[in-house]
Structure formats: structure tokens, C-alpha cells
Amino acid sequence: MKIKLFEFGDLFWVPEFYHAFLRRFMGALYKVFGYHKMWLPELNAFIDKAGGTVLDPCAGSGFVNELLIREMGKKDIRFNLSDFMIDKNPEFRERINRLGDDRIHYLEQPIDVLKDNPDFRCPKIFINSFHHFDHEQVSQIFKLNLPHGDDVLVLEYCDNSFMAYVSMLLGPLVAMIMLPFITERRLLLVTAIFTYLIPIVPLMLLWDGIVSSMRCYSNRELKQVLASAGFEDVKVTTTFRRNLLYPAGVTAHHIEAPKAE
């Protein structure tokens, strides 16, 4: 069974400043360490097969989607973004939609990926978010997408491995260094107080990072969920890459919808 632990980033009652800082911090990590670039081979292949249009239902700030589109350089692509938590920080949605880039759009209303959405039957991408779903929810995602021929791509920068836990232990220190440069001015004072004077934010980041790593799905676990959902013959292709800046590495799982007979 997948470990049932909460993450502060998933909780609505957690103060706004933490959600805002968490999203900006993740965006800064992508820019500094560039680990999103290691997903490009799998993402390019996925987009080509998808025909260009995909939905990221748990997009958060949308920073990584923007970075990936710039790296891909494709013109015939459409990233639709959605997130249930975005109302906590609507400025992220507004920033994406102000880019004036037709290749990326943040939907005004969140899409519940656990319910059938006929208007958004398209391949789905989950970037650092799939581990938030338990086995039953993952099974439901597969049942709602695979029978319609919609592949699922799971991209994770965390993993249930020793090096991943080491990187999560270093995360709070990196966050404390970056805080003055990435925090929105209106939230800087309260975020600084609960980071430097009362170190709640670093502890919350540490907890979220460790729990995320513990909850990440392996190739074997995904196949087990697929089998329990009645998709024994579905192909799951898993790749792992690392670089000097991020030795913990990133993972990509491509779950391919069965071909229509």
C-alpha cells in the first residue's frame, strides 16, 4: 500500500505565504539546476504521439511548463494547465496567461482529473504531482484515460532512493539562501519571519520533500495498479537520468494507452 501521509503543500488551511513560496521555490530550482531539461527526450516523444495537445491537471505555478515549452521550441503544441490549489495564488495563473504565448494556457476553472471530462479527453502530463495520488486515485486516472486512447506521462524529480533523500535534506538550506530573491514583496516579511526567526517553513519543506520521495511510484508499482484496474497488457516505459547538478536524478514514466482493436 502507498504510504498515506499528508504534504503541507496539499492542504488548503496552510497559510498563503507557504503555498506561494513553495511554488516560487520549485520554479527557482528548475532554473538553477535545470533538471527539467533531462525530461525533454521523453516529453518530445510524448508530445509527438499526442498530436500536440496535452493537459497538466496539477500544474502549480506553471513555471516548469513554460520552461519546457521554451526548451522544446515546438510551434504545434498546446499545454492546457489546471490546478485545484491555484485559487490560493491566482497570480501564477494570470502570469502564464499574460505571456501571450498561444502554446500555453492556464484554465480559469480547475479540472478534476478523477472525474470524466469529455471536453478534456487528451493525453495527460503530471509533473512532480503524480505521487500525491493514492493507488485508488491512480487507478481511476488510468480508467478515465487509457480506454479513450489517452497516454499518461509521469515526470518526477523525487524518488524513493538514498540520493533523493539527501537532496531533500539539502532543500531547506537552499530555500533559506534563495528566499530574499524569489519571494514576492508583499509576502517577504511574514515568510522571512517563519523561515529565519521561527524556522517553520524549512521544516515544512523538509517534511514535504521526504514524504514526496516516499510516495513516488516505481515502474513495478504502476504495473501493479494497472493490473488491478484491468490493464495487464499496458506498456509502462520508465527512464531515469541524472547530471552533476542534480545527482539524485529524475524519472519519467510513460503509460501507453492500448491500441484500439
* Residue 1 pLDDT > 80: no
pLDDT (mean) for 113-136: 95
Q: How many helices (H) and strands (E) are present in the chain, helices listed first? A: 9, 7
Report yes or no on whether pTM surpasses 0.75.
Answer: yes
**What is the model's pLDDT at position 75?**
81
The span from the CA of 229 to the CA of 255, in Å, is 13
Q: What percent of the chain has pLDDT over 90?
A: 81
Condensed to tens digits (0 to 9), the pLDDT of residues 148-188 reads 999 999 999 988 899 999 999 999 999 999 999 999 999 99
Q: For residue 35, how many C-alpha atoms fall within 13 Å in the half-sphere facing its CB?
A: 26
Cα–Cα distance for residue pair 19/123, rounded to 1 Å:
27
CA-CA distance, 193 to 199, in Å (whole number)? Answer: 8
The DSSP bridge partners found for residue 54 are 79
Q: Averaged over 26-39, what is the pLDDT? A: 91
pLDDT at 89: 86
pLDDT, position 259: 78
Identify the pLDDT of residue 73. Answer: 80
Residue found by looking up cell 520552461 in the block: 67
Angle at 137 between CA 210 and CA 14, to 5 degrees: 50
Spatial contact of 234 and 153, defined as CB atoms under 8 Å apart:
no
Question: Which residues have C-beta within 8 Å of that of residue 11, sequence separation ≥ 6?
Answer: none
Q: Does residue 260 or residue 35 have the better pLDDT?
A: 35
- Element containing residue 219 per DSSP (H, E): helix 219-228
Instruction: State yes or no: pLDDT of 24 exceeds 70.
Output: yes
Tell me, what DSSP letter sits at residue 216?
P
The tens digit of pLDDT for each residue in 47-85 reads: 999 988 999 999 999 999 999 999 988 788 999 999 988
In tens, the pLDDT along 204-227 reads: 999 999 999 999 999 999 999 999
Of 2 and 242, more confident = 242
